[in-house]
Amino acid sequence: MQVHTCLSWTVTDVFDALAADTRRKILDELHERDGQALYELVTRLTMRHGLTLTRQAISQHLEVLESAGLLRTVRDGRYKFHYLDTTPLEKAVARWGHSQRRRTRDHAHRRHKRAGR
């Protein structure tokens, strides 16, 4: 068994990967059922979303997602299984979410102080 992860993704890679509707659907499918092989993903995308893309097209989308750090793969014999990795999303939220929470808290504090006068 061989595990592959991409450690050199950027925030731009993440947002570019998320820009495509097909890739978001792939992530949705992995969120619902993690650890799928290509043939499973192709079947689920066809049956559940009406996508009629080839295995090669789906494979290219998977490569983009893996390059962006949004999935990792595990090769087991002939099969390559794909797993959702939310680390890049968590880092984006941590980067901007913390400052947003602080601004919201500070704004609420100022509003409360004004109302108390």
- Does residue 106 have a pLDDT over 70? no
pLDDT at 25: 97
For residue 73, count CB atoms less than 10 angstroms from its CB and return exposed for 0-12, middle for 13-18, buried for 19 or more: buried
In CATH, what class is 2-85?
mainly alpha
Q: Which run of H or E residues covers position 80? A: strand 79-84
pLDDT tens sequence across 2-38: 555 555 677 888 999 999 999 999 999 999 999 999 9
pLDDT tens sequence across 48-94: 999 999 999 999 999 999 999 999 999 999 999 999 999 998 887 88
State the pLDDT confidence band at 95, using cuts at 50, 70 and 90: confident
DSSP H stretches of helix in the chain: 11-18, 21-32, 38-49, 55-67, 87-115
Strand 71-76: give its sheet, edge to edge. 2-4, 71-76, 79-84, 36-37
Query: Integer distance in angstroms from the first to the last C-alpha of the chain?
Result: 66
Token pair, residue 13, equals 């890679």
Percent of the chain predicted with pLDDT > 70: 77
Token pair, residue 45, equals 């995308």
Q: Where are the domains of the chain?
A: 2-85, 92-117
pTM exceeding the 0.85 threshold for the entire prediction = no
